[in-house]
Amino acid sequence: MNIIWTRSIVSLVLLAALSAAIGAFAGVPVALGFAVLMLVVQTFFSTFHTQRLWRLLEAPVYGEVPSALGIWGEIYYRLHKLAKRWHAQVRQVEQQHSRFIQAIQASPNGVAMLDDHDQIEWCNAIAETHFGLDAKRDLRQHITHLVRQPDFIRYLNSHHYEQMLIMRGMGENRQRTISVQVFPYGEHRKLILTQDITELERTDSMRRDFVANVSHELKTPLTVLSGFLETLRDLPLDEADRRRYLDMMDQQATRMQNIVRDLLVLANLEGDIRPPSDDLLDMRAVLRHLENDANNLSGGRHRIAFHVDDAVTVAGAETEVVSALGNLVTNAVRYTPEGGAIDVTWQRENDRAMFIVRDSGPGIAAEHIPRLTERFYRIDRSRSRDTGGTGLGLAIVKHVLQRHHAELDVKSEVGRGSTFIVRFPASRTALRKSLAA
């Protein structure tokens, strides 16, 4: 028997006992009157609280507990506890939902959900930009009324979604390439995932170009080499001719070796960890080394002058810095005609170290300057080849400088020479005083 029945029976028994006692002392009519009065009071009390409960259930006010005596107080208290538990559960579900939405919003990919009529139920901000949608305005709109590209409509209607669709973006994203894939779920509903693959496509095409360029660069000397080999094999040559052919073959082999060497240098630079930022270089020795190399390469055909501020030094990887700065100096020697002048300066500009190579060579037209550091970019192919160039020198320079957070600045005028300036950041620049300290 539960508490309600127990209480009702107890109060009825009490009422009966009290009425009997009153009956014994004051007579049956008074006892009956008392019993009726008690029942009326009880009925009124119950009706009042039933009414209150009804109103409470119709318009619940969370946190408000009506006070009442006896069983009604208990009922209100239990209801309040129940409401509190439900409220906590609803809040938990709401928080989970909002975290879920936040996570999908934070995704770098677009997410759109379609109902069973291909109407937009929800989409995140990225899908909005990819499809040129407005999540609020376009809700419940049929997606093909908004994304009208025929390829997309065909794909959506095909019901074959194993492959993704590559399409142009919409709205402001018209210049971008978007991949789209549909995933059916639930009852004829669809989840659409989108991704901006513009960069991916660009790097892929760069990779293809690079492979084509390398093949082309190696193919030319290889073709020449095999031609010479055929000549040597098939033609009866005198000793002088044989020597001449062998020398030319040697040149082509060296060219291929240089290309492979520079490609390996580039690959190592790309794969290596960043150079140390606290290893100070002995720039005096580095510059002396560069000066020797320049003089050897020039063989006295140019006026070469080095102006070095011994106090300035930088932190980094010595072999990389020597290779980058050396490339700029050897380019100046290689491209400057005999009798020209080359000035190399190592100095400080405010708190940054600066390396300047100025030559009186042919100069570079403005349209070529932004492309000089591209792999295999050359202004004059035959001149580059004649001087033993691979077309990779400035690409290596760019990589090394990037790794040292340094910048390359090229100033040039056709017919008036070129100036290549390297600026190291203050964070990598030091004075010898601090080196000694």
Task: Please report which residue ranges of 137-282 form alpha helices under DSSP H.
Answer: 143-146, 150-158, 198-234, 239-271
- Measured from the CB atom, the residue of 280 and 379 that comes closer to ligand ADP is 379
**Comparison of 245 and 377: residue with beta carbon closer to ligand ADP:** 377
Q: Which two tokens stand for residue 84?
A: 């509190």
- Closer to ligand ADP by Cβ: residue 56 or 357: 357
In the complex with ligand ADP, the residue whose CB is nearer, 110 or 326, is 326
Q: Which is nearer to ligand ADP, 286 or 408 (CB)?
A: 408
Interatomic CA distance for residues 343 and 291, integer angstroms: 10
* Cβ at position 356, least distance to ligand ADP in Å: 12
Cβ-based nearer residue to ligand ADP, 124 or 390: 390
Residue nearer to ligand ADP on the CB measure, 106 or 212:
212
Closest approach of ligand ADP to the CB of residue 276, in Å: 26
Q: How far is the CB of 398 from ligand ADP (least distance, A)?
A: 9
Closest to ligand ADP by CB, 38 vs 421, is 421
Quote the CA–CA distance of 372 and 409 in Å, as a whole number: 11
| Nearest CB to ligand ADP, comparing residues 323 and 331 | 331
The nearest distance, CB 363 to ligand ADP, in angstroms, is: 7
In angstroms, the Cα distances linking 247 to 243, 244, 251 are 6, 5, 6
CB of 369 to ligand ADP, least distance (A): 9
Beta strands 303-308 and 341-349: pairing type? parallel
Q: Find tokens 């693959």 and name the residue.
A: 197
Residues 112, 152 contacting (CB under 8 angstroms):
no
Q: How far apart are CA 380 and CA 69, in angstroms?
A: 102
Rounded to the nearest whole angstrom, what is the least distance from the CB of residue 302 to ligand ADP in the complex? 12
110 versus 340: smaller Cβ distance to ligand ADP: 340
Tokens of 152: 């997309």
> Helices 70-106 and 28-58 meet at what angle, rounded to 10?
10
Q: What's the closest the beta carbon of residue 397 comes to ligand ADP, in angstroms?
A: 7
State the residues that interact with ligand ADP by CB under 6 A. Answer: 327, 331-332, 335, 359, 361-362, 364, 372, 377-380, 384, 389-395, 418
Task: Give the residue among 213, 267, 250, 229 at the shortest CA–CA distance from 399.
Answer: 267
- Ranges assigned E (strand) in 129-188: 165-168, 177-185
Angstrom distance (rounded) from CA 145 to CA 133 = 11
CB of residue 365 vs ligand ADP: minimum separation in angstroms?
A: 10
CB atoms within 10 A of CB 24: 10
Could you tell me the smallest distance in angstroms from the CB atom of residue 206 to ligand ADP? 17
- Residue 315 vs residues 270, 285, 426: alpha-carbon distances, Å: 19, 14, 10
Q: Indicate the burial class of 43 (C-beta count within 10 angstroms; 0-12, 13-18, 19 or more).
A: exposed
The three-state secondary structure class of 61 is coil
Taking the complex as a whole, the smallest distance from the CB of residue 298 to ligand ADP amounts, in Å, to: 13
Task: Tell me the CA distances in angstroms from 16 to 33, 34, 35, 156, 348, one per residue in order.
Answer: 12, 10, 8, 79, 111
